Each structure stands twice: as C-alpha cells, then as structure tokens.
C-alpha cells in the first residue's frame, strides 16, 4: 500500500497545479486584494476532507485521532514565521513542491532551505528552543469534545448548503462545463478536458478534498495515521539520505508524487520550462524557505497539514496555527508588496 502515497501525491499535485490556485494566496488575498473567492475555495477543500474523514471514523475504518495537548505560544510563533516566509516565497512549502515540478528553481531553493532549517529545529541546534516553546501554555488539542453529537450531523448539511450556494450564485458554471463536455464528447479529447478546458475552481477543490480525505484510509493501511503532509516527509527525506537506517513511508512517497503530479500536468500541457530569476528572487526564496522550515516545526505543520487536514479533523491546534499563518502572510505582504507600491505611487505623485 505504500505506492498509494505516490499515487495520491501525483493526483494532488496534478489537480493543484491544474487549479492555477495557491493555498497561501487564497489566504493572502483576503488582505491584499480584498477578495474572499480563494477563502471559499480553501474552505471547501477542508469541508470535503472533513466529511470523508469523519465518515471513515463512523464506519470504523480508521480510529479517531488521539487527544494531545498543544502549546498555544508555539502555534502563534510558528504560524507567524511560516506565514511571513510564505509571503517571501510567493507560496507555501506545498507550492514550492509544485514549482519544482514545473521547472522553477525558486521552488527548489525554498524546499532545500526549508528542509535544512526544519531538521535543525526538529533535531539539531535549534531543537532546545523548539522544545521550550512546545512546553508552554498547553491546552486541549481539538474541539470535537465540545459538541455532544457526531460532527457529520453538522458537516453534511453544511456541505450540501455550500454546494447549493455555489450552484445558485456566481459559481454555478460547473454544470455548463460538464454538459458541454458530455454533449461534444465525441469531438473533445479526454486530454483536452483534463489539461486545457476551463474548470470551475470548486470542482478541483472537491477533487483535492476527496484525495486528502481518502488519504487517511490509504495512509492508515501502511501503519501511519494522518493524511497529506509535507513537513514530516521532507524531514524524513533528509534523514534518509543521511542515514541508511531510515525507512521511507507513505508520506515520503506523497511529496515525491506532488512534484511528479505538477510535472505531469505542465509537461503534458507543454508548459514545462526552466526560468531565469533575479538574485533578489533567489534570496527571497532561500530566506523564506528558512522561515517556513522554522515556523512549520514550531507550529507542528504547514498550510497543507494544519490548514487543510488539521482543520478537517476539527483541531483547535490547527485552527490557531492557520489563523496566525494568515496574519504572517498579511504582515509579509504588507512589507514586501503593499508598502513598496504605496511609496512608488507617492513618489510619482
């Protein structure tokens, strides 16, 4: 079943790249562009994942996650560092994996610096600081114990309502795309539909949520509890190359699949290309990757693991972390983009 990690990663990378959307940008643009479209897309991925996750628990396919206390201060600090670093890199560590797949060197630089600092924070010279942060202000790990009924009684109606609102308001074009494809299926190649035809963003959101939800099952079959993630697997890859005793698991194959999925889409769509970047872009990617690596370890996850998976599990830890990742993105965007643009406009006037 280990190969399922590669398959799920390949599918997730393919459809995330196909969506032309970015997990971190969906949170950043709430502030930068004053738009909520990306937030609803982000939320629909979480909701779809959550419905599948709690369904698997209700069917006794996987057990419920253990209650583990967490440090509020570490989630706040880790989230701010990660968010600021993601702003510098123009995307989170998951986006860096996607960038590697489509030929962007900045993605590789961000990923390598992320791994370097993540290992240093988890098990190297920065680990004492991390351990100290993890031991302060401990509280309960999730809020499922606050409700006295199966979360599905809330999640399923919410999922149905969300679908109805999407269809009835401005995002109801999905049916027209599908019907058009079905009507002209004799003339339209499957490859054109998969690679070039425009999709409603909520179709890809649903697909990404399904992949993340089913990943709980496939990952559990290999003895690993969890879903899609990048932090732990990237640390394990670095340890793997440094020690023959380390064995690869589902998560490590998933991150390889992320890169391959992005590459498959861009190569098939004739978009793959190595691009030139300025020294400033390379430096921002390196420093941003370092900040994300530190923040991910201190905050026990990234936008993918905490923002999507953890919130789908109704984790209070993940909710705290993603709130401060968002704040970090906004702060970074202000100093990197908004303030320089304001100064440039003022100088022109």
Segment 172-187, tens digit of pLDDT: 454 444 444 444 444 4
Alpha-helical segments (H) within the chain: 3-19, 23-32, 37-58, 72-89, 93-101, 105-123, 127-134, 152-168, 174-183, 190-195, 201-220, 231-242, 250-268, 279-298, 311-312, 316-333, 339-348
Own/partner pairs for 174-182, CB < 8 Å, 24+ apart?
Answer: 174/199, 174/200, 174/202, 174/203, 177/203
State the pLDDT at residue 179: 47
Contact partners, residue 322, CB within 8 Å, separation at least 6: 27, 79, 303, 306, 307, 310, 311
Res 188: pLDDT: 55
> How many alpha carbons fall within 13 Å on the CB side of residue 339?
7
Pick the residue with more confidence: 260 or 174? Answer: 260
Q: How confident is the model at residue 288 (pLDDT cuts 50, 70, 90)?
A: very high
Instruction: Check whether 10 has a pLDDT greater than 70.
Output: yes
Query: What whole-number distance in Å separates Cα of residue 317 and Cα of residue 213?
Result: 19
Contact of 257 with 98, CB cutoff 8 Å: no
Q: What is the mean pLDDT of residues 153-167?
A: 88
Structural domain boundaries of the chain? Answer: 3-348
pLDDT, average across residues 230-257? 86
Report the share of the chain in percent with pLDDT over 90: 68
pLDDT given for residue 349 in this prediction: 62
Decide if 74 contacts 306 (C-beta within 8 A).
no
Mean pLDDT confidence for 258-268: 95
Residue 206 pLDDT more than 70? yes
**pLDDT mean across residues, the chain:** 89
Question: Is 213 or 348 the better-scoring residue by pLDDT?
Answer: 213
């Amino acid at each position: 079943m280990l190969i399922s990690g590669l398959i799920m990663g390949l599918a997730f990378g393919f459809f995330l790249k196909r969506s032309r959307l970015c997990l971190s940008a969906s949170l950043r643009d709430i502030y930068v562009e004053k738009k909520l479209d990306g937030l609803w897309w982000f939320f629909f991925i979480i909701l779809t994942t959550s419905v599948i996750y709690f369904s698997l628990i209700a069917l006794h396919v996987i057990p419920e996650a253990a209650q583990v206390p967490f440090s509020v201060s570490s989630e706040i600090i880790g989230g701010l560092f990660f968010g600021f670093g993601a702003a510098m890199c123009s995307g989170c560590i998951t986006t860096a994996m996607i960038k590697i797949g489509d030929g962007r060197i900045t993605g590789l630089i961000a990923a390598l610096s992320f791994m370097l600092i993540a290992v240093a924070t988890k098990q190297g010279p920065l680990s004492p600081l991390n351990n100290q942060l993890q031991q302060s202000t401990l509280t309960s790990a999730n809020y499922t114990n606050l409700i006295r009924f199966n979360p599905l009684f809330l999640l399923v109606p919410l999922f149905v309502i969300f679908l109805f609102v999407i269809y009835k308001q401005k995002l109801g074009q999905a049916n027209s795309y599908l019907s058009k494809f079905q009507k002209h299926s004799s003339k339209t190649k499957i490859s054109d539909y998969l690679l070039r035809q425009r999709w409603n963003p909520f179709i890809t959101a649903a697909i990404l949520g399904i992949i993340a939800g089913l990943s709980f099952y496939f990952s559990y079959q290999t003895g690993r509890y969890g879903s899609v993630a990048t932090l732990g697997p990237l640390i394990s890859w670095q340890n793997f190359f440094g020690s023959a005793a380390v064995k690869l698991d589902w998560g490590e194959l998933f991150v390889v699949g992320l890169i391959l999925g992005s590459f498959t889409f861009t190569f098939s769509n004739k978009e793959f290309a190595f691009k030139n970047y300025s020294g400033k872009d390379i430096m921002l990617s390196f420093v941003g990757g370092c900040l994300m690596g530190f923040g991910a370890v201190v905050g026990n996850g990234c936008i993918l693991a905490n923002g999507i998976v953890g919130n789908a599990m109704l984790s209070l830890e993940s909710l705290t972390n993603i709130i401060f990742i968002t704040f970090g993105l906004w702060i970074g965007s202000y100093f990197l983009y908004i303030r320089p643009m304001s100064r440039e406009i003022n100088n022109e006037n």
